[in-house]
Structure 1
Amino acid sequence: MSEVKKLKTRDAIDSNYKWNVDKMYKNSEEWEEKFKILKSKAPQIQKFSGKLGTAKELLCFLESNDDIERLLDKLLVYAHLRGDEDTGNAKFQVLKNKIDAYAAEVSSFTAFFIPELLLLPIGAVDEEINKLPALKVYEFYLSDIISQKEHTLDAEGEKLLASVSDCLNAPGNIFGMLTNADMTFPCIKDEKGNEIELTEGNYSNFIKSKDRCVRKDAFDTLFGTYKNFKNTLTASLTSSIKNFIFDAKIRNYSSSLESSLKPNNIPLEVYDNVVDTINKNLSSLHKYVSLKKKLLGLSEIHMYDLYVPIVEVEQEHIEYEDAVKIALYAIKPLGEEYLNIFKEGINKGWVDVFQNKGKRSGAYSWGCYDSMPYVLLNYNYQLNDVSTLVHEMGHSIHSYYSRKNQPSIYSDYELFCAEVASTTNECLLIDYLIKNEKDKKKRLFLINQQLEGIRTTVFRQCMFAEFEKTTHEKIEQGTPLSPEDLCQIYHELNVRYFGEEMVVDEGIDMEWSRIPHFYNDFYVYQYATGFAAANSFSKMIVEDGENAVEKYIGFLKSGGSDYPISILKKAGVDMSTPKPLEDTIKRFDELLAMLEKEI
């Protein structure tokens, strides 16, 4: 009988493969000392209430607030990283709970700031900046707040909205509890005929099964179960949309879409460009569906056939050190400086590499202004893990450049830019792998991997974005939406997006009901824009070399010092035009041509 391979405990992992969190604080005792300092400093910020009208007091407030926020962030990051190393370690869970609770308290201490700033006469802040040059660094930060004046309530109004935030978030919480905790799925049979309980977790494996009966059964069972809860799921989603519309109206926005985009100065045309550009190029997706149908040898292609790989390859075992070498070859076009920063991260404790007992699952990049970047991995020796490494290091090196080149107030970047650097690295990796793979079968696999990446990240997310826009507009116009209405809207989108050759099964009509992002309004379009921007950057970097790299590094250094559209435009990617998305479609078409040629 073979021995069961158990996960190592944290102590058994070689220190070379652990992140160097001790560089922040030597131990939890030092953390506690700094926490006491924060608790003594933070309440004092309230002394500035009612005094923000003079340049000197405004500067003192901003500098004091910056000091408090930096200390809070460092304490927060340390506690969470330690807690994620081993979720079973009670000591670190206590630290997390303490700092999370106190972070909310710190926010309450500074709640007076924005309403008070907005009460100042028009032009008053500009006058104060002219009086005191040291305020100049905060000019964009302050002007951004003031630009939202017509959409910000008075102190009492903001306090009232804050007090009902839990109620307004209830639909998303109800959806989460229903789908994660209460909803269960029947058993299905796997490829070997074993009865297996279907879950959201194992569905992704079953829908890729080479056995068509298995993936059809998984598809019908999953969406059939969601259909049993269609009334509750309709109520939760439409209530969430109504709450978002309520917030937009009370803040004097012309629409819920404007309320989502305007705070980051993103023109509404950007959203419309995404939807319109993809709709004009749906023939490329239709061609992919037709080719997939042919390659799978199907007389008709159904929705449950979409995720099955067109070619199977044996999973290659890739040691972590080899993953690092592959990553360095792939990102070589980014230049020596970028490569050296990547190597520094690997060698100086940015990355927590392997799984251990109790370690949080998944992967992320985190850190703060006064720490190194940190990357959590759960490396499992597969090609996907190499991709995860370059993705998370893309985030971390973005943060590294931003923190090195911006004051702390602008060291974080907006969500619209957040996935660009990580996805640029992924694009460079897959391009490198495709160009250098000699084995025809593996090359086919890689080509299809990138095709699927564009299908799911650009086409699919755009379809989600169009569904969001349609449902929000209908409810804004006073049209109630029933389960049948939502299913019909979603069905028609699938018919249009996937084309005539796709059999749009009834089950897919319920897919809207399992998308958690729909509770974070107008979020998903940024997956498409982020991928398009990354594709444009990677193309320019490979084709134009040094000049393109210099502009790209300039983007990484910009942090949040300007609005996202402006930052990207300065670097050579204009997201206010259709071109980046059109270039992504061209890449999709190139990959289709490669696939046809290879077969």
Structure 2
Amino acid sequence: MEKTIKKRSQVDPKYTWATEDLYASDSDWEKDFIDTGKLIEKIQDYKGKLGSSANALVVYFKLLEEIVLKMDRVANYAQRKSDEDTKNTTYQDLASRLMNIYVAFQSANSFATNECLNISEDILNKFYKENKELLDYKRYIDEIRRQKEHILSEEQEKLLAEAGNLGDAPSTIFSMLSDADMEFPDVIGEDAKPQKLTHGTFISYLESSNREVRKDAFMKLYHTLDKFKNTSAATYFAQIKQLMFFAKARKYNSTLEAALDNTNVPVSVYKNLVKAVEDNMHYMHKYVKLRKKLLGLDELHMYDLYTTVVNNAEVKISFEEAKKNVMEAVAPLGKDYQAILKEGFENRWIDVYENEGKSSGAYSAGAKVHPYVLLNHTDSLDSEFTLAHEMGHSIHSYLSNKTQKPLDAEYVIFVAEVASTCNEALLMEYLLNKTTDKLERAYLINHFLEQFRGTIYRQTMFAEFEMITNEMAEKGMTLTADALSKVYYDLNVKYYGEDIVVDKEIAIEWARIPHFFYNFYVFQYATGYSAAIALSRKILDEGEEAVKNYKKFLSGGCSKTPIELLKIAGVDMTTAQPINEALKLFGTLIDELEELLAD
């Protein structure tokens, strides 16, 4: 694998995303940024008038839609350019100014929630009859009124809006520390030469068949993180403090309740996930024991969890080949789905390779002009699945944006991981059905098992860490580096079982997980994966009707509650059934892998 990290200016433009589809230049962005600020100022013209007539409400909502569309374009340019190179101070400035305009918008619009709440039910129903256009905004109005007990006075709402910059600070500090400032010692690679160690290359080293390379990368990354542990702990504690502040201000019982109520998901769904995974922990322990056996190790260590247990089957998968496989894998979803995927591949929706200062990881940003996908592709099977994953997000965004009005288009985070992981499940089924080689099948099943481990078990472990540490802070405990590391270490012991050496270095892993700054986001990877496994089987087994229902879900935005949208697709996430069935499949795959690799 090529470990040389290029500067942004050295990257072939065909492998970069087309930010010019947003703005041709920074000066064009600047003009729209100023225009957006002027539109925001106009909101004040409607203060005190929203309850006066149906027409006043309609005109206000049309202005709101215009602002949403403007801000979407302005925000995506600033954020995408900043993520191309987090060391570029020009785009750091644009991203910072973007946050300022968000705060200005929230502050200017702070009156609207209370004015909508103060309209009586009778008057509101009268308004719907007087102006049918208002019905286009009924879902939006209903969502405001649902949270009535957590809405404060106008002045208090304005104060909370203006505190938005403070609330965003921990995440910004983490990003600067992790992506821009923190540097790691070189790793001695498989060719015995020094290689660059970054967040983007770390997992590829852990996937190495050379155990010394794996151990070297593991130790150097976590020992470096340990040097910054107090800063990292203070940053994470600040994140939880700001969540506590906003939760308490809005009269929620906990940060967890506040986070989930924002997307209308019951707290019971979160806790059901943790319990269901704990009830099925024996499958995880069984897998760890099998991994130790297949690797032929006297001691299995944490740095042995990512390397394949199937020797001589790993292949390099170019970006072009990955695109071809993903395209063929999603064929069951129809030619119209494939056409959108083709458009993304051919029109530079994707920023493909790592460069110096580029934001780590991968994501899809659902811009209205078209989605933007950040990758750090490394020609591996894992990168192929990441491509499928992020394009699943992108097509979900694309269809919701095309189908729904602006205020109903953005789907909530609870359903966000379903479309992405459904694509992954379809890709796995495609690759398994295509192979006739026993060793290749074993290699793919090993990768499938890793998806279960990494997405259901690992993300639930993350979710449990978030839940525990938030509860600790809410009880008045100080989240020191040592306290956080103890919680994280103990969870690793519980999740991985007795057949692995839980190295003390893993205790600091919490300090490198950006999702801990996303406000109880990670549990949705696990619920989403469980739902996606169920939906992928419906699509493959039931055909046209299941595909039609799935596309209704993809086009739904936030037009219904997330639980209702998933029920349209055919999955009920208020029960543990999808999680239990997914983990039962995990157990079956463990048995098949053991049989395939039996002596």
Normalised-by-shorter TM-score class: 0.7 to 0.9
Q: TM-score under structure 1 normalisation? A: 0.86
Match of 1:586 in 2: 584
- 1:308 corresponds to 2:336: no
Match of 1:141 in 2: 140
Alignment deviations for residues 451-478 of structure 1 (CA, whole Å, 9 cap, x no partner): 1111011101111111222222233234
Per-residue deviation, 1:296: 0.6
One-letter amino acid of the structure 2 residue matched with residue 133 of structure 1? K
Out of 446, 449, 468, which is 2:447 matched to? 449
- 1:504 corresponds to 2:502: yes
Match of 1:299 in 2: 298
Distance change (3 Å), C-alpha of 1:308 and 1:246: same
Is the contact between residue 82 and residue 92 of structure 2 (CA under 8 Å) also seen in structure 1? Answer: yes
Out of 499, 515, 518, which is 1:517 matched to? 515
Match of 1:337 in 2: 336
Which consecutive unaligned segments of at least 5 residues does structure 2 have? none
Match of 2:282 in 1: 283
Alignment deviations for residues 141-188 of structure 1 (CA, whole Å, 9 cap, x no partner): 111112222212222222333344444444445545555566555666
Distance change (3 Å), C-alpha of 1:306 and 1:266: same
Q: How does 1:400-439 map to 2 (within 5 A)?
A: 400-439=398-437
In structure 1, C-alpha distance between the alignment counterparts of 2:356 and 2:300, rounded to whole Å:
42
Alignment deviations for residues 325-344 of structure 1 (CA, whole Å, 9 cap, x no partner): 32232112112332343344
Alignment deviations for residues 171-219 of structure 1 (CA, whole Å, 9 cap, x no partner): 4455455555665556665555556686545443443343334433443
Match of 2:595 in 1: 597
Per-residue deviation, 1:56: 1.5
Name the SS for the 1:301 alignment partner. Answer: coil
Per-residue deviation, 1:381: 5.3
Match of 2:574 in 1: 576
In structure 2, C-alpha distance between the alignment counterparts of 1:56 and 1:197, rounded to whole Å:
61
Name the SS for the 1:112 alignment partner. Answer: helix
Of 82-91 and 225-234, more deviation after overlay is shown by 82-91
- 1:118 corresponds to 2:117: yes
Name the SS for the 2:55 alignment partner. Answer: helix
- 1:211 corresponds to 2:210: yes
Name the SS for the 2:454 alignment partner. Answer: helix
Name the SS for the 2:262 alignment partner. Answer: helix
Distance change (3 Å), C-alpha of 1:115 and 1:582: same
In structure 1, C-alpha distance between the alignment counterparts of 2:355 and 2:180, rounded to whole Å:
24
Of 561-570 and 155-164, more deviation after overlay is shown by 155-164
In structure 2, C-alpha distance between the alignment counterparts of 1:78 and 1:99, rounded to whole Å:
10
One-letter amino acid of the structure 1 residue matched with residue 158 of structure 2? K
Match of 1:65 in 2: 64
Name the SS for the 1:153 alignment partner. Answer: coil
Of 30-39 and 546-555, more deviation after overlay is shown by 30-39
Alignment deviations for residues 98-122 of structure 1 (CA, whole Å, 9 cap, x no partner): 7776555444443332233334456
In structure 2, C-alpha distance between the alignment counterparts of 1:194 and 1:233, rounded to whole Å:
31
Name the SS for the 1:438 alignment partner. Answer: coil
In structure 2, C-alpha distance between the alignment counterparts of 1:357 and 1:69, rounded to whole Å:
31
In structure 2, C-alpha distance between the alignment counterparts of 1:127 and 1:230, rounded to whole Å:
59
In structure 1, C-alpha distance between the alignment counterparts of 2:540 and 2:308, rounded to whole Å:
28
One-letter amino acid of the structure 2 residue matched with residue 132 of structure 1? N
Q: How does 1:237-386 map to 2 (within 5 A)?
A: 237-313=236-312, 316=315, 322-346=321-345, 349=347, 351-352=349-350, 364-369=363-368, 371-375=369-373, 382-386=380-384
In structure 2, C-alpha distance between the alignment counterparts of 1:252 and 1:583, rounded to whole Å:
37
Of 358-367 and 401-410, more deviation after overlay is shown by 358-367
One-letter amino acid of the structure 2 residue matched with residue 407 of structure 1? K
One-letter amino acid of the structure 1 residue matched with residue 457 of structure 2? F
In structure 2, C-alpha distance between the alignment counterparts of 1:36 and 1:477, rounded to whole Å:
45
Per-residue deviation, 1:231: 4.5
Per-residue deviation, 1:25: 6.8
Is the contact between residue 289 and residue 502 of structure 1 (CA under 8 Å) also seen in structure 2? Answer: yes
Is the contact between residue 188 and residue 197 of structure 1 (CA under 8 Å) also seen in structure 2? Answer: yes
Name the SS for the 2:411 alignment partner. Answer: coil
Out of 474, 477, 490, which is 2:475 matched to? 477
One-letter amino acid of the structure 1 residue matched with residue 143 of structure 2? D
In structure 2, C-alpha distance between the alignment counterparts of 1:539 and 1:317, rounded to whole Å:
28
Per-residue deviation, 1:402: 1.4
Match of 2:388 in 1: 390
Distance change (3 Å), C-alpha of 1:197 and 1:139: closer
Per-residue deviation, 1:574: 0.8
**RMSD between superposed Cα atoms in Å:** 3.7
In structure 2, C-alpha distance between the alignment counterparts of 1:236 and 1:551, rounded to whole Å:
43
Per-residue deviation, 1:577: 0.7
Out of 562, 565, 574, which is 2:563 matched to? 565
Alignment deviations for residues 575-594 of structure 1 (CA, whole Å, 9 cap, x no partner): 11111111221221232122
In structure 2, C-alpha distance between the alignment counterparts of 1:488 and 1:35, rounded to whole Å:
46
Alignment deviations for residues 67-120 of structure 1 (CA, whole Å, 9 cap, x no partner): 232234345446666787899999999988877765554444433322333344
Name the SS for the 1:432 alignment partner. Answer: helix
Is the contact between residue 115 and residue 155 of structure 1 (CA under 8 Å) also seen in structure 2? Answer: yes
Aligned length: 592
Out of 477, 487, 490, which is 1:489 matched to? 487
Which consecutive unaligned segments of at least 5 residues does structure 1 have? none
Per-residue deviation, 1:64: 1.8
One-letter amino acid of the structure 2 residue matched with residue 411 of structure 1? A
In structure 1, C-alpha distance between the alignment counterparts of 2:70 and 2:326, rounded to whole Å:
34
Per-residue deviation, 1:133: 2.2
Per-residue deviation, 1:47: 0.8
One-letter amino acid of the structure 1 residue matched with residue 585 of structure 2? R
- Which of the two has higher C-alpha Rg? 1
Distance change (3 Å), C-alpha of 1:189 and 1:63: closer
